[in-house]
A and B are shown apart, each in its own frame.
Chain A
Amino acid sequence: MRIPCPICGERDRREFYYQGAAVALERPDPEAADDAWDAYVHLRDNPAGLTRDLWYHEAGCAAWIVVTRDTVNHEILDAELAGEAGR
């Protein structure tokens, strides 16, 4: 699997650290109820199909990247910098 880093271009999967579903971009308010925090930290949509994951270009430019990917065939459709990815 090759991941297209918006800064470095297409790179081998080995250069990246996988964080999981891109929920980290939707952090609840610190005062939010337990349910909101449980959903954020633990519960996942876990789709068979299109998903948005967070990857860290650890052995590259050190950017956090939101990758749009198909979990059924490993095809990568899009990659954008996490800082620029909307909510």
Chain B
Amino acid sequence: MRFSGWKVFTEGLTGNRGWAPHWRDPEPKPEYDIVIIGGGGHGLSTAYYLARDHGLTNVAVLEKGYIGGGNVGRNTTIVRANYFLPGNSEFYSHSLKLWEGLSEDLNYNVMHSQRGLINLFHSDGQRDAFARRGNAMINQGDDAVLLDRDGVRRMLPYLDFDNGRFPIHGGLYHPRGGTARHDAVAWGYARGADRRGVDIIQNCEVTGIDIDGGRVTGVQTSRGPIRAGKVAMVAAGRSGQVAAMAGMRLPVESHVLQAFVTEGLKPVIDHVVSFGMGHFYVSQSDKGGLVFGGDLDFYASYAQRGNLPMAEHVMEAGMTLMPMIGKARVLRSWGGIMDMTPDGSPIIDRTDIDGLYLNCGWCYGGFKAVPASGHCLAHLLATGRPHAAAAGFRLGRFRDGVGLMDEEGTGAQHNLH
């Protein structure tokens, strides 16, 4: 089944009875060329690009829950390419380009909306840092506009510009930044991979990784053993536990990140806005809810729920930045589990075990990475060489200290990211 205007029209006339499931529900086969552990955004996009670009379709994605139940369906949907450091900047630039053609490529509307993203600054030092970041973004081939106070006021008149503590001096505007519908991204990639022959297997938990003489030979699952030539661990917040099945300890500590959404409102916030001092960011979903969040709760957690101090902190920052937000009622909040690396940047690499690959460490920013992450991991799996855009995402960089990407400039230490 392909989506088209004509299909939507005729289904509308015939009671929407002709829609079929978007992917099959196959039984796991005893053996695959490649097994991907984790059916989140990154695992599904890896499978899709393995099939689309490399013709590798004897592939299974094993998901312990259901597609879209992990972080890919829990994030605040921001998509941007405003990174600064070499290694990161070309990767996120590559990802944004893939986003721009994604709905068409997948024949699935991921509702990628380039509504523009504005990072506010509140001091001279921050202005200088943002000017420099903007130049780096332009150099990497993306777009950035440094707005002064009046420039921001014209676009975001509802902010409290004269806040005594955090007066708004301006903002870095990234017009191609925006949001996308997170579930649709997972569903679109799942469908695209399935249509090319990949098996998407839900309710299948990997419980062991089989290694023989330094080489991976398959996995144990809640639905029986599956042999595999190559295995990719793509389990986001659960990366630590999945790697432990292969006897590995990772440079990862899992933390909780909360998000909040209000009742549906008429259009009021046109862009994605982030508050450079108070750790607050907000956008409005297409359904009308204000979607916002802030920092991690900053302690190791697998609870998929947060704690009150950070919820209060986020609300306070929101009220400081845009007092009007106080009129909106919060509908719900939730937490997701982030695989935090010491430098806040991801890992896409082979491991010391032959045939075993790792994709993790996406921290709080991995949704925007979904297309490029899969694209680059598929390249590594298929060709044995890292893709140029992800060549910096090495597992060994912490051990040898070469090529750390501490984008926040806070230091390569676990509790700082």
Contacts and interface: CB of A to CB of B under 8 A. Distances in A.
Interface string B375-417: 0000000000000000000000011100000000000011100
B399 A42 contact: yes
Contacts of A73: 303
A84 interface: no
A72 B398 CA distance: 27
B398 A42 contact: yes
Interface string B224-241: 000000000000001011
A18 B250 CA distance: 20
Interface stretch (B42-50, B150-158, B251-259): B251-259
A18 B241 contact: no
B249 A48 contact: no
B113 interface: no
Given A34-B399, A43-B250, A13 B302 contact: no
Which DSSP category, helix, strand, loop or mixed, fits chain B's interface? mixed
A38 B301 contact: no
B303 A18 contact: no
Given A34-B399, A38-B399, A44 B252 contact: yes
Interface in B326-380: 342
Contacts of A44: 240, 249-253, 414
Contact of B309 (A12, A46, A47, A71): A12
Interface in A1-45: 1, 12-14, 18-21, 34-35, 38-39, 41-45
B240 A45 contact: yes
A74 B244 CA distance: 22
B119 to A, nearest CB: 26
A35 B398 CA distance: 11
A80 interface: no
Interface in A36-87: 38-39, 41-48, 51, 53, 71-74
17 contacts: A12-B309, A13-B309, A14-B309, A20-B300, A20-B414, A39-B249, A42-B398, A44-B240, A44-B250, A44-B251, A44-B253, A45-B249, A48-B302, A53-B299, A71-B254, A71-B301, A73-B303
Q: Which 8 pairs across A and B sit closest by C-beta, in order of nearness?
A: A46-B240, A42-B251, A43-B249, A42-B398, A38-B399, A48-B302, A20-B415, A18-B299
